[in-house]
Chain A
């Protein structure tokens, strides 16, 4: 069931362009600095974590106070749910500081992959909402950077699944980032997308949307639109993105043959 693109480079090229996102800034210390309340703190924290992984939990807890909690895109995304916040990027940068990439595999400067996986799991389990987002954004950054070693994928999937069960919109959105987009199974990922529509979170929060949206997701979106119309409620505008951009009513039920000009259902990689 898992839908894991191989060859990180091809997927990287399809990451949405445009506004800086927490996971992208985590990989680019110079670009991140202007977003931080105290950039020198992050530099020192990054060094401390690379020298001793045991320094991470305390730095993780303090990131909001030292790096700031503001949205990376205050006008478009005042809550930071879609594009992330300064502390999201700072925490993700700390995760990145523990891992370096060589020849497409993560090797570690400070810690081996199984230990990194265990540490991220503990950070998530013992973390508050922002720290949990930080773990997921860190996994996003590593996933965007290259193919993840198996222990990180195995550890990260249940964390993303946990985030998707939450009702806090920022956590759900973080579960649908590049890591989730690459490693969640199709059923879980489709439900994540639909849940974001329910929560009113713009689908810009979803990584790999164009690549992974399939006929089943379109059917789910169409059913939701029908349910909303039947109830006399508004149809969320983002649903159109799951229907190939056509008005919801223009798409026939899944599985029926059609001669209309409805878009060809996208296929999955399964």
Chain B
């Protein structure tokens, strides 16, 4: 089973997670920019975070054989804080960076006028940068929020196939599916979706334009939920090819629209090889010393 987790916040996870993810078949991830749990107080706090997403985190993932990509945006929650909005001026230069495969997460949190403005501005940035968009749907008032989300996306003029609308459930999937956009499901231990319910929706709606992620972060979450959903699909009678489509080919096709997705194996990485610092000219050795 090969897996591209299309939405996971690896800066909040450990190296144990990376090892377990590789063992479960994860070979690539996309990490969208999001809220850190603690509010930021300036644009500079965002730029350091964005630098980390395209820098240190990518390096860290590569140590474990996993290709790391980023989606960059001002998240909806902090769009409401005037101290943070200056970061919008910095975002276009990040959208040019290697490995930035989308604008995201954008969308609504509380559906305020500030969120409207920031959402529309970032959809325009996506159009200018020729990038797809990862859209978060709100936790509260989800159905109304999803409807309003789709209206704003339509007004932006972005083609529907460039938009992935995430955190969907039984009540919101039809809206997105019928709009011709990609439908994302975050499989969580307690909230959002679980494996069994996700598989039921795959039965009902088919496997085209359907995407499954772990959305693992600093909250109670599980970076192996993609693999677990794949196993649940197989148990329910889906084929290996169906699983490959949902867990690999679909997210690869969506983010591949950026022209900035790299999916070949990490050069020099040998699974299970112990770090071998100081060994000259041998495969992975140059990448895997101790931290100095």
Q: Which of B99, B267, B290 has the most CB of A within 10 A?
A: B267
How many residues of B are in contact with the other chain, CB < 8 A?
A: 33
Q: How far is the CA of A167 from the CA of B56 in the complex (A)?
A: 8
Q: How far is the CA of A128 from the CA of B260 in the complex (A)?
A: 15
| A189, chain B: closest CB distance, angstroms | 15
Chain B, 271-289, contact with A by CB distance < 8 Å: what is the 0/1 string?
A: 0000111111101111111
Q: B268 near A: Cβ within 8 Å?
A: yes
Asked if B281 and A200 make an inter-chain contact with CB atoms under 8 angstroms apart, the answer reads no
Kindly list chain A residues whose C-beta atoms are within 8 Å of the C-beta of B99. Answer: 128
Asked if A129 and B287 make an inter-chain contact with CB atoms under 8 angstroms apart, the answer reads no
| A123, chain B: closest CB distance, angstroms | 11
The residue of chain A having its C-beta at the shortest distance from the C-beta of B286 within the complex is: A81
Of A168, A169, A198, A238, which is within 8 A of B280 by CB? A238
Asked if A199 and B292 make an inter-chain contact with CB atoms under 8 angstroms apart, the answer reads yes
Q: A142 near B: Cβ within 8 Å?
A: no
Which residues of chain A from 186 to 208 have any CB-CB distance to chain B below 8 Å in the complex? 194-195, 197-202, 204
Q: How far is the CA of A204 from the CA of B285 in the complex (A)?
A: 14
Asked if A126 and B93 make an inter-chain contact with CB atoms under 8 angstroms apart, the answer reads yes
Asked if A238 and B278 make an inter-chain contact with CB atoms under 8 angstroms apart, the answer reads yes
Q: How far is the CA of A202 from the CA of B268 in the complex (A)?
A: 15
Kindly list chain B residues whose C-beta atoms are within 8 Å of the C-beta of A57. Answer: 93
| B175, chain A: closest CB distance, angstroms | 35
Interface size class of A (residues with CB under 8 A): 35 or more
Kindly list chain B residues whose C-beta atoms are within 8 Å of the C-beta of A129. Answer: 54-55, 58-59
| B162, chain A: closest CB distance, angstroms | 19
Which residues of chain A from 153 to 207 have any CB-CB distance to chain B below 8 Å in the complex? 167-169, 194-195, 197-202, 204
Q: B192 near A: Cβ within 8 Å?
A: no
**A10-18, A70-78, A96-104, A245-253: which one contacts chain B?**
A70-78
Of B51, B93, B260, B286, which is within 8 A of A201 by CB? B286
The residue of chain B having its C-beta at the shortest distance from the C-beta of A173 within the complex is: B286
Asked if B277 and A199 make an inter-chain contact with CB atoms under 8 angstroms apart, the answer reads yes
The residue of chain A having its C-beta at the shortest distance from the C-beta of B51 within the complex is: A128
Q: B291 near A: Cβ within 8 Å?
A: yes
Kindly list chain B residues whose C-beta atoms are within 8 Å of the C-beta of A76. Answer: 281
Kindly list chain A residues whose C-beta atoms are within 8 Å of the C-beta of B267. Answer: 70-71, 74, 78-80
Asked if A195 and B292 make an inter-chain contact with CB atoms under 8 angstroms apart, the answer reads yes
Q: How far is the CA of A236 from the CA of B286 in the complex (A)?
A: 12
Asked if A201 and B289 make an inter-chain contact with CB atoms under 8 angstroms apart, the answer reads yes
Asked if A128 and B278 make an inter-chain contact with CB atoms under 8 angstroms apart, the answer reads no
Q: How far is the CA of A198 from the CA of B291 in the complex (A)?
A: 7
Q: B20 near A: Cβ within 8 Å?
A: no
Asked if B277 and A79 make an inter-chain contact with CB atoms under 8 angstroms apart, the answer reads no
Q: A64 near B: Cβ within 8 Å?
A: yes
Kindly list chain B residues whose C-beta atoms are within 8 Å of the C-beta of A79. Answer: 267-268, 284, 286-287
Chain A, 107-129, contact with B by CB distance < 8 Å: what is the 0/1 string?
A: 00000000000000000001011
Q: How far is the CA of A69 from the CA of B58 in the complex (A)?
A: 15
Chain B, 47-64, contact with A by CB distance < 8 Å: what is the 0/1 string?
A: 000010011101100000
Q: Quick one: given A200-B279, A202-B281, A236-B278, are A65 and B289 in contact (CB under 8 Å)?
A: no
| A132, chain B: closest CB distance, angstroms | 8
Of A58, A77, A197, which is within 8 A of B281 by CB? A77
Q: B98 near A: Cβ within 8 Å?
A: yes
Q: A92 near B: Cβ within 8 Å?
A: no
Q: How far is the CA of A58 from the CA of B115 in the complex (A)?
A: 29
Of B58, B259, B280, which is within 8 A of A65 by CB? B259
| A42, chain B: closest CB distance, angstroms | 16
Q: B147 near A: Cβ within 8 Å?
A: no
What are some 16 contacts across the A-B interface (CB < 8 A)? Answer: A61-B96, A62-B96, A77-B281, A78-B267, A79-B267, A128-B51, A128-B97, A168-B56, A169-B289, A194-B292, A199-B290, A200-B277, A201-B289, A237-B278, A237-B280, A239-B278
Spell out B's residues near A (CB within 8 Å).
Answer: 51, 54-56, 58-59, 93, 96-99, 259-260, 262, 267-268, 275-281, 283-292
Closest 5 CB pairs of A and B: A200-B289, A236-B278, A200-B277, A198-B292, A78-B268
Known: A169-B289, A238-B278; 20 extra A-B contacts, CB below 8 A, are A61-B96, A69-B262, A71-B267, A74-B267, A78-B267, A78-B268, A79-B287, A81-B287, A82-B286, A128-B51, A128-B97, A129-B58, A167-B59, A168-B55, A168-B59, A198-B277, A198-B289, A198-B291, A199-B291, A237-B278
